Amino acid sequence: MTTPPPALLIAGHGTRDDAGAEAFRDFVRELGRRNPGLPVAGGFIELSPPPLGEAVTELVERGVQRFAAVPLMLVSAGHAKGDIPAALSREKERHPGISYTYGRPLGPHPALLTVLERRLDEALGGALRTPEDRADVTVLLVGRGSTDPDANAEVHKAARLLWEGRGYAGVETAFVSLAAPDVPSGLDRCVKLGARRIVVLPYFLFTGILPDRVRQQTEGWAAAHPEVEVRSADVIGPEPELLDLVMERYAEALKGDLRMNCDSCVYRIALPGFEDKVGLPQQPHFHPDDDGDHGHHHHGGHAHSHAH
């Protein structure tokens, strides 16, 4: 009798946007359809149903004892570094006998850069037919933003990789929350660098409140600067490349090939201005729909497992 493969558990951040939450749930269902015979479930650490604990319970009720968890996140911020590992540790206590491995976040992967490039071309109406066309385009890549400098640096890394070899005039970076520069400041910077044609590219997987905010701020800035051509690109979305990448991260987790970045981790290394975060205790998020929630919501001390 062959041993069944470990199940796939998808961990999402959560959003107050119903369409964004449903996009995540649709994505999880599509992963299941594409991988018959592999138990697949997904849940959120906050804001949206179902909570991650419910997804684990669903797998356990299907007879699963081993699974690999993949964070459906682009950067390794506090959620991927701490909240999810802490939540998984809690589920292990709730379900004695289960075991799991933990994968790494998705970006910046060449497959995602390919999708971002496609979104740029779509935003320009397929006008990038020659290298000369691209040389006239400045891209503003807009990330979620974090209080973790390592996470913000990963967005800059994605911007640099998107610029390399593709011929755009430049790829600048901005953030929609918690980090500077914000979207209007990022657009101002592009103009100071000589940009006359800008595409604002949201570095987000699915629709949601924050990507909507990026578009609104872009439109507001553009209305005040009619001399500059500004276009908004779409989010990455449930593209085949994203589905394949999740399965690649699943395979990595099974092999133990995780390669999480700890070199500039704010919970391990004293970075200027963030010294108080070193060694913070592990605390999981308490999802409001989770049976274990008793009205607590620990959002300050991120759990951070370094057993990798």
Q: How far apart are CA 288 and CA 23, in angstroms?
A: 20
Residues 223 and 117 in one domain: yes
Q: What are phi and psi of 126, to 5 degrees?
A: 70, 20
Residue 303 lies in a domain: no
| Per-residue pLDDT tens over the stretch 11-47 | 998 888 999 999 999 999 999 999 999 999 999 988 8
At 155 the pLDDT is 97
Q: How confident is the model at residue 273 (pLDDT cuts 50, 70, 90)?
A: low
Q: How far apart are CA 165 and CA 88, in angstroms?
A: 40
At 125 the pLDDT is 87
Q: Where residue 222 sits, what CATH number does that domain have?
A: 3.40.50.1400
At 299 the pLDDT is 37
Q: What are phi and psi of 12, to 5 degrees?
A: -110, 160
Q: What is the mean pLDDT of the chain?
A: 87
Instruction: Name the region of 295 (left: φ>0; alpha: ψ -120 to 50; beta: rest).
Output: left
Contact 13, 45 (CB under 8 A): yes
Residue 115 lies in a domain: yes
Residues 67 and 155 in one domain: no
Q: For the chain, give me the number of helices (H) and strands (E)?
A: 10, 8
Residue 257 has pLDDT above 70, yes or no: no
Question: Which residues span the domain enclosing 100?
Answer: 7-107+240-277
Residues 251 and 223 in one domain: no
**Which position has the higher pLDDT, 299 or 35?**
35
pTM: 0.84
Which of 232, 251, 267 represents a domain boundary (last residue)?
Answer: 232
